[in-house]
Structure 1
């Protein structure tokens, strides 16, 4: 995969001005896109075509940013550097997909045998993914405590469906002795805000946590 003279040329451009860096990014995209993406696909067999494409785009963005911040080492292997960045970004997308899968299960299980649950069951897979995408966006907009509780709920589902387990998991993240009441309140307040934002988009459902 490596071409020493070509890589050396790109390396010199990556330590140049913005125009040279931009040209280097174009050369990397033209010369290494398919090779790096093929390698990533072998490392992450389950990665979707869309996530693979996004992995490469973010990899190029990281390369550009590193070059602008003078973090690229000209004498280092360009290919190894690209593979390291691409692997890290692919891992990010894989973790995000796993988190989304857990969120889908959390939502589906929490709505089972409810009126809203029957509405959820009627959604197409594409609509469910859209709802989950919106939830992820809205969680990021919550106040810090509510955001942490929601993220922990999703990341630790189904264990986090029990209030005691959710409290323990939140305490590990915050490093504080969280009370069940405070955790439940944060979840409920966050849920109401997310529901309001979802209603504005035409969706409506809730998330339940069981008392022990």
Structure 2
């Protein structure tokens, strides 16, 4: 079935090539005339996208259109709908990759904190340290002070802090007091347990994971 082209669609390329006010009018027309059609098209290709993700993909598409127009990369003689389909498809693919990546990092973070071991076959966590820290920040924040300090030190220098002596040294530096190895190990184990409970309460339950 061929979609009916609204007469005003033909005016969009010329508006996008005009003044700032005309560009704004062109973007408004894109949103009014093409949003539903392109989002339905996108939903068929990415059925797992939530309504929120779909909205984010569309918002990113409009930003890309504006960037293309302002950088003079937009060709006024090209059909507007096929061009927008390419952009919205790419943005949805990015959204899907980010979501998948976030879930992978969450699994690595939870398993590592619960067991002290990286899952077999998982990418090296130290290569994604910033993402790793962001994911577990909320879980660590609610811990008692001593456990929080130990877990933060564990994450800050991961994976070097698999070595308990390195972890003990880092915790001692943060607290300004010499910490015993047994107390650091105990705080780490208790903190891991609470982090696991925190993540599980939010619907993430790692498979076949035991507290080390």
TM over 0.5: yes
TM-score when scaled to structure 2? Answer: 0.58
Segments of structure 1 that go 5 or more residues without pairing to the other structure are 115-152, 167-183
Structure 1: how far apart are the matches of 2:6 and 2:137? 53
SS of match in other structure, 1:46: coil
1:84–1:2 distance in 2 versus 1, CA, 3 Å: farther
Structure 1: how far apart are the matches of 2:44 and 2:35? 14
User: Number of residues paired by the alignment?
Assistant: 144
Q: What is the Cα deviation at residue 26 of structure 1? A: 0.3
Show structure 1 runs of 4+ deviating over 4 A.
203-211
Paired position in structure 2 for 1:3: 5
Structure 2: how far apart are the matches of 1:11 and 1:113? 57
Q: What is the Cα deviation at residue 39 of structure 1? A: 0.9
Does residue 198 in structure 1 map to residue 200 in structure 2? no
Structure 2: how far apart are the matches of 1:29 and 1:112? 46
Contact persistence 1:2–1:79 (CA under 8 A): no
SS of match in other structure, 1:67: helix
Structure 2: how far apart are the matches of 1:106 and 1:30? 42
Segments of structure 2 that go 5 or more residues without pairing to the other structure are 143-147, 164-212
Q: Deviations over 1:34-76 (max 9, x none)?
A: 1111111111111111110010011011111111122111111
1:34–1:49 distance in 2 versus 1, CA, 3 Å: same
Q: What is the Cα deviation at residue 8 of structure 1? A: 2.0
Structure 1: how far apart are the matches of 2:108 and 2:46? 25
Structure 1: how far apart are the matches of 2:120 and 2:8? 51
Paired position in structure 2 for 1:105: 107
Which structure has the greater CA radius of gyration?
2
Q: What is the Cα deviation at residue 108 of structure 1? A: 1.8
Paired residue for 1:43, among 42, 45, 48? 45
1:93–1:47 distance in 2 versus 1, CA, 3 Å: same
TM-score when scaled to structure 1? Answer: 0.58
Paired position in structure 2 for 1:84: 86
Contact persistence 2:16–2:69 (CA under 8 A): yes
